[in-house]
Each structure stands twice: as C-alpha cells, then as structure tokens.
C-alpha cells in the first residue's frame, strides 16, 4: 500500500516547492518595489551626490545630476561641466525618452557648445512638449529676439507670463522696449498677443502708464487694436484718456481720440441728451460728488422717455455739477440750453460757464434764467471767438506727427454755485433747488483743432447747443 502511494506524493511535494519559491519571489519583488518607492523622496530631494549613490541608474537621478552640472557650468563658465551635463542628460533621456527636462538640458548644452541651430530645434521640441518648461521658453525668447523673429519670441513670452506673475514686469519691459525701438515690426506682434485678450492684458496696459515711452506704446497699441477684433474696452480707453490728461498730454489725447473716433467727433458735446452713458471719460459727463449737491441722470417727470440731469442743490456749496472734455477748432461758438426749475430760485446761484483748460480762467458765463415750470429755451448766450486765443506749447509724445503750437482756448460749461449769491439768501429761505438737465450740441468748425475742456453744469437744461458763427448770425 505504501509503495502505491509514493509515486503520487512526489508531484505534491514538487508543487509545494514551486509555490514556496513563487512566494519568496513575490516577497523579494515586494521588497524591491517597496525600496524603490521608499527612496523616491530621497532621489527627488536629497543632494545629487547622495542620490547618485542610492540609484546610479535612475533616470530621475541622472537628470538631476545633469541639471546640477549645467548650472555649475554656467556659474563657473566651465566647458568640462557642460560636457558632463550633456553626457548625463543624454543618458537620462535614453532611459526615459519622455523626460522633457532631460531633453531641455540636452538642448541647453548644445547651445553652450555653440551649436545654436541644433539647440533651437531641441528646445523648440521641449517647449512644445511642455508649456510649463520655463527655462526652454526663456531661452527661445532670447534666441528668437536675436534672430529678429518677434512673432515667435513673443509667443514664447506669452506662455511664460500666462503662468508666472512674478516675471511679468521683466517680460512687459521686453514688450515695451521692443515696441519702442522697432515699432514697425515689434508693435504689431504685441498687438496680436493683446488681440487674444490674454489674462495679463490689463496688467500690461497699466504698466505702460508710468512714463512717456510707455504712453507712446499705449497710444499706438490702442490705434492698432481698434482695427482688429479686440479693441480697447471703454474701461481700458477711459484709463488711457485719463492718464494722458493727468500727465498734460492734451494734444496726444486729441490725436488718439480723433484716430479712434471714440467717442464720435461728430458732436462737440458727448451725450448731450444724457441718454448714452457708454462713452468713456473725460469725453463724458462727470457728475458732482460734493456736500450740498446731488446730481443724477434720470427720466424727466414731464418727458419720461427723455432722460435729464436732475440736481438737488442747497444754494451754498460752490461746486461743479457736471463736466466733460471736448476739443474745438478756431472759430466763434454759441452755447444754448433748454431747462426748467422744479423748486427754488436757481437763477441766482447757477450759471453756464466756459472755462479755459489747463487752468480755471472763466472766459464766458451764461445769463442766469428765471424760474420756469415747463421746459424753455435759455436766453441767448454771448459768442466766444476762439480764433483770437493766444498760442501755447503742449508737450508732445515722441513719434506722434502733430502740430505743437495750438490755440490755448479750452472752453468749458460750468455750473457754478456762486458764493456771493448764496450769501445774499437767508439760510431758512431755501431748503434746496431741485434742477433737471438735458443737453445736446451742434457745431460747424474748420482749422487746427484746439483742446477744449467743457465742464457742464446746468440749471434744468434740456438742450445744450454749441453752434458756429454762421448758425448764430442766422438766428
């Protein structure tokens, strides 16, 4: 019986030994795998000298060693270090063909060896593989600029600034310098990037307002973008106009407004009917925000479809109610308005005034109107002859073709709260004067354009008309 069982026991023992061997193999594999997992943080963070001893054949370690050698070579300008970096990076790339950082080191070592065409091909491949490979894109920006290829250089720079806010100032200076030194070729490429409305567009525009050079680029960009699919928004255009105005670049402001035709130059007074709030300031009404004055654009009670400027004024506070900037050519002009008074005697305290800018010289003041309950045309306003103004010089931005000497007339519509008139009124006699206003403009003019500041405040004005001399004489 035992002799019959012996042959069948051998296969069982053999299968047991195989199972035991397989178990030991699995244990060994698990140990090796666990070791590889355990040392990964060390391979990534430990000094290169330590990591290379732990895993001399690891692609990660070889790539780190290559990057270290390349950095040392750049610091010491040591050609031998570059050679070692090239060998290590090629070894790492051979073991891990999709390691973009290893490929980048290969390209950089080729550039260090003077083989820039080869380096360009390799680093272009690395940049296309990974938009996050900043060193590759940075090298390509510099190299393409040396070649005069602004389109490619700026495209790689765009990749950088979309991710890295910390390097935006340097890249923005690059754009501005290139656009200034090589306007014909570089500026259109900057405009191409801006037309895509990148997330850094607003930041770049704001960076241009610090000096005259940047303002010049901003003006030219605004003109180029106006022709494309992404012109400046009203908010962006408002910022440009205000910066030019605050920096005294009035003639430059006139030029860019005329070139863009935003807002339209067909009317002297923008939004004269108080119905279109879209045009940007300063070519738009800026309402008063002062103690004693409340100004707002609302539908008129009598003509609800016709918006008007309504003003609550206490009769004491000297304040501008509304103002805007316009440009006039030399000539004779007449101002007229339509108004009504709801309450109070605004005629003693409010006036329509033309004021020179820069400065605050009042050259014309409209007659004050009496109390009217319905909309009524204002009395004729004296004619202002702008052709007799004295010339003056305006700072002109470099590169803009325009006349530097222009007439100094800058006219404005001002609603002036006269302190003397207020002093003659008892404090208990008036609670306030509620005033509504609506304005429009007409004019015909010829000659050299003049910068004109129109600062408008009206009593209860329905229509403001700026008419030429011919119109005034016909009336």
Are residues 55 and 107 both part of a single domain?
A: yes
Q: Report in angstroms the alpha-carbon separations of 143 from 9, 132, 137, 153, 168.
A: 77, 18, 10, 8, 19
Q: Report in angstroms the alpha-carbon separations of 42 from 72, 73, 96, 153.
A: 22, 25, 19, 38
Q: Is residue 322 a contact partner of residue 457, using CB atoms and an 8 Å limit?
A: yes
Q: Is 24 part of a structural domain of the chain? A: yes
C-alpha Rg value of the chain to the nearest Å: 38
Q: Is 43 part of a structural domain of the chain? A: no
Residue 215, C-beta contacts closer than 8 angstroms, at least 6 positions apart: 208, 209, 243, 244, 247, 249, 252, 397
Smallest CA-to-CA distance from 154 within 108, 185, 133, 125 is with: 185
Are residues 116 and 181 both part of a single domain?
A: yes
Are residues 404 and 447 both part of a single domain?
A: yes
Are residues 187 and 300 both part of a single domain?
A: no
Q: Please give the residue range of the domain that contains residue 211.
A: 49-260
Q: Is 320 part of a structural domain of the chain? A: yes
Q: Is the dihedral of CA 149, 151, 156, 158 positive or negative?
A: positive
DSSP sequence for 389-416: PPEEE----TT----SEEE------EE-
pLDDT given for residue 216 in this prediction: 93
Q: Is 354 part of a structural domain of the chain? A: yes
Are residues 253 and 303 both part of a single domain?
A: no
Are residues 193 and 75 both part of a single domain?
A: yes
User: Considering the entire predicted model, what is its pTM?
Assistant: 0.70
pLDDT given for residue 196 in this prediction: 95
Q: Is the dihedral of CA 360, 364, 370, 376 positive or negative?
A: negative
User: How many other CB atoms are found less than 10 A from the CB of residue 383?
Assistant: 16
Q: Is 81 part of a structural domain of the chain? A: yes
Are residues 304 and 227 both part of a single domain?
A: no
Q: Is residue 427 a contact partner of residue 451, using CB atoms and an 8 Å limit?
A: no
Are residues 350 and 403 both part of a single domain?
A: yes
First to last CA, the chain: 141
CATH of the domain at 177: 1.25.40.10
pLDDT given for residue 444 in this prediction: 30
Are residues 97 and 235 both part of a single domain?
A: yes
Are residues 217 and 349 both part of a single domain?
A: no
Q: Is 239 part of a structural domain of the chain? A: yes
Residues of the chain with pLDDT under 50: 1-2, 368-374, 376, 378-465, 469, 471-475
Q: Is 166 part of a structural domain of the chain? A: yes
Q: Is 271 part of a structural domain of the chain? A: no
pLDDT given for residue 235 in this prediction: 95
DSSP sequence for 278-301: -SPTTSS-EE-EETTEEEEEEE-S
Are residues 241 and 162 both part of a single domain?
A: yes
Give the separation between CA 376 and CA 255, rounded to whole angstroms: 37
Q: Is residue 407 a contact partner of residue 448, using CB atoms and an 8 Å limit?
A: yes
CATH of the domain at 444: 2.60.120
The count of structural domains within the chain is 3
Are residues 229 and 337 both part of a single domain?
A: no
């Amino acid at each position: 019986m035992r002799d019959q069982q012996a042959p069948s026991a051998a296969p069982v023992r053999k299968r047991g030994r195989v199972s035991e061997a397989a178990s030991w193999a699995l244990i060994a594999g698990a140990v090796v795998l666990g070791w590889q997992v355990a040392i990964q943080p060390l391979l990534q963070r430990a000094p290169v000298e330590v990591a290379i001893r732990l895993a001399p054949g690891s692609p990660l370690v070889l790539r780190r060693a290559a990057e270290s050698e390349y950095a040392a070579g750049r610091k010491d300008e040591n050609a031998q270090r570059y050679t070692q970096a090239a060998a290590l990076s090629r070894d790492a790339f051979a073991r891990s063909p999709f390691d973009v950082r290893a490929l980048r080191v290969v390209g950089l070592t080729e550039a260090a060896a003077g083989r820039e065409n080869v380096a360009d091909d390799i680093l272009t491949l690395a940049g296309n593989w990974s938009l996050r490979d900043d060193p590759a894109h940075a090298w390509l920006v510099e190299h393409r600029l040396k070649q005069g290829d602004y389109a490619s250089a700026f495209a790689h720079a765009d990749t950088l600034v979309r991710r890295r806010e910390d390097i935006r100032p340097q890249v923005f200076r690059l754009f501005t310098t290139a656009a200034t030194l090589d306007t014909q070729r570089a500026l259109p490429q900057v405009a191409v990037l801006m037309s895509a409305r990148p997330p850094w567009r607003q930041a770049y525009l704001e960076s241009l307002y610090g000096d005259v050079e940047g303002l010049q680029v901003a003006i030219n960009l605004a003109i180029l973008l106006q022709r494309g699919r992404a012109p400046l928004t009203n908010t962006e255009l408002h910022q440009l106009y205000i910066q030019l105005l605050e920096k005294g670049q009035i003639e430059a402001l006139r030029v860019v407004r005329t070139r863009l035709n935003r807002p339209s130059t067909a009317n002297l007074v923008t939004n004269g009917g108080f119905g279109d709030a879209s045009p940007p300031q300063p070519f738009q009404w800026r309402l008063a925000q002062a103690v004693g004055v409340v100004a707002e654009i609302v539908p008129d009670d009598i003509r609800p479809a016709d918006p008007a400027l309504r003003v609550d004024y206490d009769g004491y506070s000297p304040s501008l109610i509304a103002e805007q900037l316009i440009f006039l050519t030399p000539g004779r002009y007449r101002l007229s308005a339509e108004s009504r008074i709801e309450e109070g005697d605004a005629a003693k305290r409010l006036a329509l005034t033309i004021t020179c800018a820069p400065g605050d010289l009042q050259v014309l003041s409209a007659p004050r109107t009496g109390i009217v309950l319905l909309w009524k045309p204002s009395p004729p306003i004296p004619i202002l002859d702008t052709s007799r103004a004295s010339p003056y010089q305006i700072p002109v931005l470099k590169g803009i073709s325009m006349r530097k000497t222009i007439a100094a007339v800058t006219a404005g519509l001002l609603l002036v709260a006269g302190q003397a008139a207020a002093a003659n009124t008892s404090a208990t006699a008036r609670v306030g004067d509620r005033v509504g206003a609506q304005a429009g403009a007409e004019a015909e003019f010829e000659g050299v354009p003049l910068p004109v500041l129109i600062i408008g405040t009206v009593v209860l004005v329905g229509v403001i008309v700026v008419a030429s001399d011919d119109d005034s004489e016909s009336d």
